[in-house]
Structure 1
Amino acid sequence: MTETIDAVTLVAGSAEGAAFVLSEPLSFWGGLDSATGAIIDQWHPQKGQIMSGKILVMKAGRGSSSGSSVLAEAIRRGTGPAGIVLMTRDAIVTVGAMVAAELYAIHCPVVLVAERDWRWITASGRLVLHADETGAKLHLLDGID
């Protein structure tokens, strides 16, 4: 079954990929290896997992404003997420994706979704994002029937 959810565009773009749902917030600064796309935060429960090319799904980011530069670098290298779904606005994550779009012309859409839709999104195996200045659509594939 395919569901479509309306979202708010934070950074425009289109992406498709496997959902990579974080069980806890992540700081990109000290938490992500931009060379490999691996989570390197020693205390994160998903340490060692790779987010490259996936749609990163997290309630919010965590931490340092320097995380924007790490995210932008990962996007530039092709080791970052293809897109990002947030439940809480996060300026650090948003700025990182905006910088990658502006400096490198590589788009990693970032969208904001409502809490009421969270369980559907996190249960989906694959996501398709389309985000522009008029709004965003998040298509849930391989999810709950």
Structure 2
Amino acid sequence: MKTVVLHGRKVVGGVIEGEALVTTEMVSGWGGINPADGKIIDVRHELHGQSVKGKILVFPGAKGSSGWSSLFHYTRRNGNAPSGLIFNVMNTKAALGSVVIHAPAVTGLNQDPLEIIQSGDWVKIDADQGIVEVTKK
């Protein structure tokens, strides 16, 4: 198995590893995710029907209103949040959403994670060091 190492910036510290769930589309909180089960409910989204629960969510960034963070907060409270976040576009929604789910999160990687990571790859985030290790499936 091949392992790729990426370097970026910490958003929320910590270390976690797990299976990647990757989307090339921005993720919406309000109307985009169901906090009761962690499933993407936006019918136009490529991950529609898939759950973020326990996954390392790899995505371009957050879109929509400030409801993004509150929906992800409820997702965490219900035990259905992603275990880690890797994203490209830093904005207030993505930053606050990362904080409220209490999961290691990184951004600003030296390579585009959407070009390197595929759903099903095993990913370790060491957000404290800004390191992402990707073991290809």
Query: How high is the TM-score relative to the length of structure 2?
Result: 0.88
Which residue number corresponds to residue 15 of structure 1?
16
Q: Give the 4+ runs in structure 1 shifted more than 2 A.
A: 113-118, 121-124
Counterpart-to-counterpart distance in 2, 1:40 and 1:9:
28
Determine helix, strand or coil for the equivalent of 1:18.
strand
Deviation at residue 124 of structure 1 after TM alignment: 6.8
Q: How far did 1:129 drift? A: 0.4
TM-score by length of 1: 0.84
How far apart, CA to CA, are the structure 2 residues paired with 1:142 and 1:77? 30
* TM-fit CA distance, 1:20: 0.4
Q: What does residue 131 of structure 2 align with?
A: 137
Q: Find the counterpart in structure 2 of residue 111 from structure 1.
A: 106
Which of 121, 127, 131 is the equivalent residue of 2:117? 121
Alpha-carbon distance between aligned partners in 2 of 1:57 and 1:121, rounded to the nearest angstrom: 8
Does the 8 A contact of 1:124 with 1:141 survive in 2?
no
Matching of residue 69 in structure 1 with residue 70 in structure 2: yes
CA contact (8 A) 1:72 1:97 kept: no
The one-letter code of the counterpart of 1:36 is D
Report the counterpart of residue 88 of structure 1 in structure 2.
89
Higher helix fraction: Structure 1 or Structure 2? 1
Amino acid at match of 1:31: G
What secondary structure is seen at the aligned counterpart in 2 of 1:111? strand
For structure 2, the 5+ residue unaligned runs are none
SS of residue paired to 2:18:
strand
Match of 2:7 in 1: 6
Matched position secondary structure for 2:11: strand
Checking the alignment, whether the CA contact within 8 Å between 1:58 and 1:85 is kept in structure 2 is yes
CA-to-partner distance for each residue in 1:66-96, whole Å, 9 max, x for gaps?
A: 1101111112222010001011113212212
CA contact (8 A) 2:13 2:105 kept: yes
Match of 1:104 in 2: none
Say if 2:9 and 2:106, in contact at 8 Å, map to a contact too.
Answer: yes
State the secondary structure of the residue aligned to 1:64.
coil
Percent identity, aligned pairs only? 32
- In the aligned structure 2, how far is the partner of 1:79 from the partner of 1:32? 10
